[in-house]
Amino acid sequence: MRVLLAAGATETALIEGISAAGASPELMAHTPAADAEILAYGEPTAAPVTPVSPTGCPTPAAVTRSVREVIGFDVAVVDAGLAEPTTAPTVDLGADVAPGADVREDEAVPDAAAIFDRAHGYGASLPDDELLIGETIPGGTTTALGVLTALGEPTGVSSSLPENPLERKRRVVDEGLAASDLEPGACEGTPLEAIRAVGDPVQPTVAGVAAGALESGTGTAVTLAGGTQMVAVAALLRHAGVDAPLSIATTSFVADERGAELEAACERFDCDLTITDPGFDAPEREHVAMTRYCAGEAKEGVAMGGALSLVPDGRMADVRDRFETVCDRLGIDAERGGEGGRGS
């Protein structure tokens, strides 16, 4: 079992009101690097910030790291277009991988096909029996909406904000499609075109690794660890003609928001769905980080739902204990939460 984290950036995240993955636009650019370092080392090392939402909810990387500290699993972070440097160990797929442009530009990911090919080769090279693939990319639910719309698929997506700015995202995507001279549904069966027009560089990375692992003949099982962003990757894979078994593992927070729609999407794209509840509403827990997750902040990301799905029965309380420790280490106060995106 290996957890792969595709970490990248899109300028789409800088559009006002789109993302809560970081307290300010300047600091948000460091979120994927910081998430990678938290997963690898337990805290940010080179990144100048601990990602917390404007209201102080810590990044899902803190949850994924907590699971890792309890049960242990191998990690590989793939550079899928990081905007800022990191000292987390990262897999370098090649020079074509760069942060994505704003989807309202003509091309959001000009090298989508090359990224997919390199990621495919990498995925095919991995000897693991089981891969769990997550993402960290601020703005990723908007680009998920982008590719789903371009593919002509149903387009509900989740949000890292408690009030989902879905209408705003739809307007951004509509502008993006118009800028690329595309109608909704125009990219049916041509998923790399959809990414190139209105996607982000994490999408061809995750899809490529998944397709390569599934098609290599070594029988690797692939779980897409995430919510609506991974539904979009599943759609991309199915439109690419990949028909191997595929699973999605996400959190109860995503399911609480999108329940029936999520199940319908998984059925549509022929994915097994696993939903895991970390029990942050346990009555003895009053840590503000857990309270904020229960209030619908953050919800998912950095393979959180997939990591939680690996926790054996009876160990979730250990994960919650560890999450408190990790929050302490990250300077998230149990009563007041994190200070929005403070530098270190």
Closest CA to 173 of 191, 157, 189, 190: 157
To which H or E segment does residue 275 belong? strand 271-276
DSSP 8-state assignment for residue 88: S
Q: Which is nearer to a second copy, 75 or 147 (CB)?
A: 75
Return the residues of window 239-298 that contact a second copy according to CB under 8 A: none
Q: Which stretch binds a second copy (CB under 8 A): 71-79, 146-154, 187-195, 220-228?
A: 71-79
Residue 126 makes contact with a second copy by CB under 8 A: yes
- Residue 92 CB, shortest distance to a second copy, in Å, is 7
CB of 47 to a second copy, least distance (A): 10
Residue 122's φ and ψ, nearest 5 degrees, are: -65, -45
Among 21, 52, 93, 303, binds a second copy (CB under 8 A): 93
| Residue 72 touching a second copy (CB under 8 A) | yes
Q: What single-letter amino acid sits at 265?
A: A
Under the binding rule (CB under 8 A), the answer on residue 71 touching a second copy is: no
The smaller minimum CB distance to a second copy, of residues 90 and 203, is found at 90
- Work out whether 334 is an interface residue with a second copy (CB under 8 A): no
Among 17, 24, 26, 92, binds a second copy (CB under 8 A): 92
Contact 184, 217 (CB under 8 A): no
Q: Among the candidate windows 85-93, 245-253, 258-266, 335-343, which touches a second copy by CB under 8 A?
A: 85-93
In the complex with a second copy, which residue's Cβ is closer, 43 or 174? 43
Applying the rule CB under 8 A, the residues between 94 and 123 that interact with a second copy are 94, 122
As given in the structure block, the two tokens for residue 281 are 């509403």
Q: Within 37-56, which residues bind a second copy (CB under 8 A)?
A: 40-43, 45-46
Tell me: does residue 76 bind a second copy (CB under 8 A).
yes
Binding of a second copy by 1 (CB under 8 A) = no
**Touching a second copy, residues 303-332 (CB under 8 A):** 329
Amino acid at 98: A
Query: What gap in Å lies between CA 333 and CA 287, rounded to an integer?
Result: 8
d(C-alpha 189, C-alpha 172), whole Å: 23
By rule CB under 8 A, what count of residues binds a second copy?
A: 26
Question: Residue 11: which residues within 8 A CB-CB, separation 6 or more?
Answer: 99, 100, 101, 102, 139
Residue 69 lies near a second copy (rule: CB under 8 A): no
Nearer residue to a second copy within complex by CB, 94 or 110: 94
Rounded CA separation 38/44 (Å): 5
Give how far Cα 146 sits from Cα of 12, 37, 171, 182, 273, Å: 11, 29, 10, 11, 22
Token look-up 């779980």 returns 223
Q: Is 182 exposed, middle or buried (0-12, 13-18, 19+ CB in 10 A)?
A: middle
CB closer to a second copy out of 45 and 190 = 45
- Stretch touching a second copy by CB under 8 A, among 82-90, 139-147, 176-184, 315-323: 82-90
Distance from the first to the final alpha carbon of the chain: 33
Binders in 127-166 for a second copy, by CB under 8 A: 127-128
Two tokens at 254?
């995503």
Candidates 17-25, 125-133, 220-228, 310-318; binding stretch for a second copy (CB under 8 A): 125-133
Q: State which H helix or E strand residue 250 sits in.
A: strand 246-251
Of 14, 25, 48, 87, the one binding a second copy (CB under 8 A) is 87
CB 151 within 8 A of CB 157: no
Binding site for a second copy (CB under 8 A): 40-43, 45-46, 72, 75-77, 85-94, 122, 125-128, 329
